[in-house]
Amino acid sequence: MRTRSTARAAVTVPVALAAAVIVAAPALAQARPATDIDARTDAPCEVTFGIDNRTNAVTYTVDFRVDGEPLTGPDFGSGPIGHTTVRSEVAPGTPVFQPGVVGYRFDLESFRSERTEDLIARGYPPKPPSETYYVEYRMILGPDANDRHPEWRAIEVPGCQESGSSGSSGSSGSSLFHLHDLLGIS
């Protein structure tokens, strides 16, 4: 009877280990995607896009569109793209993914890259601060579909044109008025 009990215990341990491995496997799979994207606005008419990259690829690229404009960029197999902005980067010294030369990794320490876009410099018409630009962004460009973000995300970016001014003369006049107030000049 003791021999039988020992054999059962020996079989129970591997089954428990196998169960632990099966339970742990979904937890490992949840580490994907190994990238994340976001956007923020720190100033009117500006949007900053970011990529947090835990891969060794430097080709993940965020694309965006403003106020529902049609996508007119090239189609690389996922449909036409919008304006391209920030690209993924890796920490200094990290071997960069090169098919057939350096293998793809998705288990690295996160490395952040950002790029700020000035919507006026990009050719979008100025909007008053009471209005916003509706900026949609995603990441469909990159070597591994598991680490892309194909669904559009959105952020509202406040306008920057002063209401009632059509150029620099309106703003300099008001600045001069405020300067007179500060100096006590009438």
pLDDT by residue for the chain (186 residues), tens only, comes to: 333 333 334 444 444 444 443 444 444 444 689 999 999 999 999 999 999 999 999 999 999 999 999 999 999 998 999 999 999 999 999 999 999 999 999 999 999 999 999 999 999 999 999 999 999 999 999 999 999 999 999 999 999 986 554 443 333 333 333 333 333 433
Q: Residue 50: its pLDDT value, please? A: 98
The rounded distance, in Å, linking the Cα atoms of 76 and 114 is 23
Evaluate whether residue 19 is within a structural domain.
no
Residue 119's domain comprises 32-183
Secondary structure of residue 144 in the 3-state scheme? coil
Q: Residue 32: its pLDDT value, please? A: 85
Q: Residue 161: its pLDDT value, please? A: 82
The rounded distance, in Å, linking the Cα atoms of 88 and 109 is 13
Strand order in the sheet with 149-158: 83-87, 61-66, 132-141, 149-158
Find the CATH number of the domain harbouring 179. Answer: 2.60.40
The rounded distance, in Å, linking the Cα atoms of 122 and 75 is 21
- The count of domains in the chain is 1
The rounded distance, in Å, linking the Cα atoms of 160 and 132 is 9
